[in-house]
Each structure stands twice: as structure tokens, then as C-alpha cells.
Amino acid sequence: MKRRRSLFLHLSHIRLLAKKFALVILFLSAFALMLVNKTDTILIEKTSNVATDMLSPLIDVLALPAKMVVRSYDYFRDLRQIHADNLRLKEENRQLNLLYDRYKSLEIENRLLSDLLNYVTPPDSDFVTARVIAEEGDAFSHSMIAYIGDKHVEKGQVAMSERGVVGRVDRVGAAYARILLITDINSKIPVMVESSRVRGILSGDNTTLPKLVFTPLDAGISVGDRIVTSGVAGVFPAGLPIGKVVSAEKNEIAVKPFSSLEKLEYIKLINYGLEGLLSEDDLQLKHEGGHE
């Protein structure tokens, strides 16, 4: 009993001392924390720098295997892609060799057939680009005037746009040329249906849609058929695009030109070296006689 009382008195004495010196202890603790906080940044920074300097070589050594693995993976991936590209290029090269062999075979065959048929290749051509400066469209004619400057142009040369035939040179002056359009009533062009090779005459009638005449009754011409020059009589070389069939009635086949004749700004006047073996009147008489 005496021990407990003595212990109690001793604890009470400690608590009393703690209360007396609590403020001092708190003040000293705060001062110590402030001192540590001031020196903490410098200390931590120095420690961090030393640790970084010491650990950086070690980190590089430890990361070396990972870097080698990544590089090896990239190398084998690129190697696989190169192998795939190599196989693809080999296949393309094989296909090109086959095409080349086929081309050489066709070239030889074409030369043999040309010699056999005594085929004469079309003549070379040159052209002059002319600017359209005026249009002459009325009930009696469809033509235009083009500026040619000092370029040499002859009557009868083919007039073309980037899409097809628009007419031919009718008259040539000092610096200008008159172009007779395919829609003019005086225009008569030997043509054929590109797919069936049926021949006829494209005759202008002073409308926007020239007519296909002198064709066989059983020609089987349909809407959408492409019309190209036939090369008959040497007036135009064969194969020049003109237009397509837009209506195919029994007594009238209308053709819409590929070129918008009312919107032309520039045309090419092409010299194929063809002077024309027959006049238009002779050509018309020939077709009329062939279909009597």
C-alpha cells in the first residue's frame, strides 16, 4: 500500500514538472524542427547528387541487357520486313519478266503480221496550238476563228480539243484561221462505230448534234456507242475520237461530240500529212452509190 502511494506521488511530481517545462520543451522542439528544415534541403540535395553519381553507372549497367533485347527485337523485326519485301519484289520482278517476254512476243508477232499485210504505219504529226477568238454560229454556218500568229497552218488540217475532233481548217489568213466545226452543215467526216467497226458519214446540220448517215440498216447501232474517225479517203486519220450516240432512231442517229464546242478556248491544229484522196462530194457520191 505504501509502494502504490509512493509511486502515485512520484508520478504526480513528474506530471507537475512536465506542466512547468512544457512550454520550454515545445519551444525547443519547434526550434529544432526549424533548424532541421533549413539544413534538410541542402543535405538532401547533396545526398541526392552523391547517390545519383554513384548509382548512374550501375543503372546503365543494369539497363544494358534491356537495351540489347530491344535492339535485337528491332533488328529481327526489320529483318523480317526486309525478307517480306524481298519476296514481294522477287514476285513483281517475275511478273515483269513474264510481261516483258509477252511484250517481245507481241512485238515480233506484230512486225510479222505487218510485213505479211504490207501494213503502213500512220504518218507522224505536228501541231499548232491556237486560241479561239471568235465564233460564227447562225442558221447557215457553224465555225470559229482562231489566232495562229506566224505559225504555218494549211487548209484541211484537223482541229482538236483535249477530248476529240472539233472540226478542220477551212481557210487560212495571215494570222488567223477559220475552223469549220463538225456541226456545220457543210461538214462531212468519214467515221465508224468503235466497237462494231460499222462505217458511215458524220454530217453536220447546224444543230448541236450532228447526224450519222450512210450506215447499213442492220448496223445495230445503240445509244452510248463511241464514234471515231474511220480514215476512209484520207481526210482524217483513223481512230480519232469524235463523240457518242445519244439517240438511235430508225431514220436518224444523233451523235453528241465529246468536246463542248461552245466552250472552246484553245484548240490544236494538227498536220498529219494527209491531203485527202477524195473531195467531200466524191466521198458522198461513193457512199450513196454503195448503198443504192
pLDDT tens by residue, 67-84: 787 788 888 888 889 988
What average pLDDT does range 223-236 have in this prediction? 87
Q: Which of 73-82, 273-282, 283-292 has the lowest mean pLDDT?
A: 283-292
Q: Which of 31-35, 40-44, 169-173 has the lowest mean pLDDT?
A: 40-44
Q: How far apart are CA 61 and CA 48, in angstroms?
A: 20
Angle at 121 between CA 287 and CA 267, to 5 degrees: 75
Cell of 128: 499548232
Detail the DSSP E strand segments found in 45-103. Answer: none
With beta carbons less than 8 A apart as the criterion, state whether 187 and 281 touch: no
Cell of 98: 513474264
Detail the DSSP E strand segments found in 64-216. Answer: 126-137, 142-147, 158-160, 165-172, 176-181, 188-193, 199-203, 211-213
Q: How far apart are CA 76 and CA 192, in angstroms?
A: 62
pLDDT greater at residue 95 or residue 58:
95
Q: Which one-letter DSSP state was computed for residue 225?
A: -
Query: Residue 69: its pLDDT value, please?
Result: 79
pLDDT greater at residue 66 or residue 155:
155
Q: Is the pLDDT of residue 276 over 60?
A: no
Residue 253 confidence class, pLDDT cut points 50, 70, 90: very high
pLDDT tens column, 182-196: 999 999 999 999 989
Class for the domain spanning 126-290? mainly beta
What average pLDDT does range 225-236 have in this prediction? 86
Question: φ and ψ at 262, to 5 degrees?
Answer: -80, -5
Q: How far apart are CA 266 and CA 97, in angstroms?
A: 42
Radius of gyration of the chain (CA): 48
Q: Which of 23-32, 74-83, 147-156 has the lowest mean pLDDT?
A: 23-32
Q: How far apart are CA 153 and CA 66, in angstroms?
A: 78
Q: How far apart are CA 219 and CA 197, in angstroms?
A: 10
Q: How far apart are CA 119 and CA 1, in angstroms?
A: 143
Query: Residue 181: its pLDDT value, please?
Result: 96
In the chain, domain spans: 70-121, 126-290
Q: How far apart are CA 257 and CA 267, in angstroms?
A: 15
Query: Residue 233: its pLDDT value, please?
Result: 73
Query: Residue 17: its pLDDT value, please?
Result: 64
Query: Residue 75: its pLDDT value, please?
Result: 84
With beta carbons less than 8 A apart as the criterion, state whether 145 and 133 touch: yes
